[in-house]
Amino acid sequence: MRGMQPVGILSTGSYVPERVLTNADLEQMVDTSDEWIVTRTGIRERRICSPEQASSDLAYEAAVKALQRANVAAEDLDMIIVATVTPDMLFPSTACLLQDRLGAKKAAAFDVSAACTGFLYGIATASQFIASGLYRYVLVVGVEALSKITDYTNRNTCVLFGDGAGAALLGPVPDGYGFQSFELGADGSGGPLLQQPAGGSRIPASSESVEKRLHYISMNGGEVFKFAVRVMNAATDAVLEKAGVSKEEVDLLVPHQANLRIIDAAIKRFGLSEEKVVVNLDRYGNMSSASIPVALDEALEAGRISEGDTVVLVGFGGGLTWGASLLKWTFQRV
């Protein structure tokens, strides 16, 4: 991004629903146990939407916090990007619903569908609009209401997912700070490994699709696990190399929160201390596109990021997709 306006994250915000679904609760619903879940995933509880809540409701709460912390009015937003695989409806986009509720009248708005990598795709897209000088403020929200498409009769998947939203306001920052590199990738041949089969034009909603439970998340856990470990390492290596940064210089790693074993593998691979890695999936489970921004927001709130820190965000998801970003953190703006 040489010769262009440096772009960084000016503020963050997050929101999770009030209802807590514990492993003990799941023991009453399917054939599983707290020990089985914790041993294989590291998850102890997750947050679940109320029947009345949709993704736009969660996104709104996170977005308001991010805007307030940056002291930026919704009317000043130039663009809103919402990353989600659980939109309120197929169209209009959840971003448009959020734009209206915020009162961001001049903002362009659209959704990004890259599953758990969605937030990274969103910030990579947003940064280009700002770096080029076309826009000044872009709001990126990763939000999921995965409980709405989780099959609570399937013990292999229902223990994994939770609901939540994380928002980041992107804008201009001083030279030498902000995003230093991005790495995005996809392998569509792996699409069937993690998908929601029905509800689109391939398998429209019908009594048969509902009866066959095709509107719920379908996943080949073993294959996704192997894919995740591989691309988490490769994507992180790529952004470090592009930015000319060594792994020893990384101050904080914010990985997608899918499985503790995947995160542990990444920690061992890079030789990072646990103090340099953000982990919150024990409390929230896998929130897909919301995982990284919620974890980032909590890290900031806890004072784990200081001026000038090198922060790496990395994730993977359905598609199959993957992505990473490296930024030199600043609390300044221009």
137 and 221 together in one domain = no
The whole-angstrom separation of Cα 4 and Cα 217 is 41
pLDDT for 124 beyond 60: yes
Contact 163, 52 (CB under 8 A): no
Among 229, 216, 281, CA closest to 41? 281
Among 202, 189, 199, 168, CA closest to 297? 168
Domain boundary among 177, 196, 226: 177
- The residue annotated as part of the active site, out of 23, 158, 256, 259, is 256
pLDDT digits (tens, 9 = 90+) for 98-109: 999 999 999 999
104 and 237 together in one domain = no
Q: For residue 271, what pLDDT is reported?
A: 86
35 and 165 together in one domain = yes
286 has catalytic annotation: yes
Strands 178-186 and 321-328: antiparallel
Q: For residue 2, what pLDDT is reported?
A: 52
Q: Which residues are CB-neighbours of 170 under 8 A, at least 6 positions away?
A: 7, 8, 9, 10, 123, 126, 127, 130, 137, 138, 139, 140
109 and 80 together in one domain = yes
133 and 206 together in one domain = no
268 and 293 together in one domain = yes
89 and 32 together in one domain = yes
Domain boundary among 147, 177, 207: 177
pLDDT digits (tens, 9 = 90+) for 2-29: 579 999 999 999 999 999 999 999 999 9
93 and 197 together in one domain = no
**Mean pLDDT score, 264-289:** 93
158 has catalytic annotation: no
CA 105 to mean position of chain CA atoms:
25
Indicate the pTM of the whole model.
Answer: 0.97
43 and 137 together in one domain = yes
172 and 34 together in one domain = yes
pLDDT digits (tens, 9 = 90+) for 31-64: 999 999 999 999 999 999 999 999 999 999 999 9
CA 278 to mean position of chain CA atoms:
13
Q: How confident is the model at residue 1 (pLDDT cuts 50, 70, 90)?
A: very low
Would you state the structure tokens that stand for residue 41, as one six-digit string? 């995933």
260 and 314 together in one domain = yes
Angle between helices 94-102 and 55-70 (to 10 degrees): 50
Among 301, 294, 233, 234, CA closest to 262? 233
* Element of type H or E holding 254: strand 252-255
Domain boundary among 159, 177, 195: 177
pLDDT digits (tens, 9 = 90+) for 68-122: 999 999 999 999 999 999 999 999 999 999 999 999 999 999 999 999 999 999 9
Beta bridge partners of 316: 322
pLDDT digits (tens, 9 = 90+) for 132-142: 999 999 999 99
- Is residue 333 domain-resident? no
What is the domain extent for residue 183? 179-328
- The residue annotated as part of the active site, out of 49, 96, 116, 158, is 116
Among 1, 13, 276, CA closest to 164? 13
Q: What is the CATH number of the domain that holds 83?
A: 3.40.47.10
Tally of structural domains, the chain: 2
116 has catalytic annotation: yes
Q: For residue 43, what pLDDT is reported?
A: 98
92 and 213 together in one domain = no
The whole-angstrom separation of Cα 176 and Cα 244 is 13
- Is residue 1 domain-resident? no
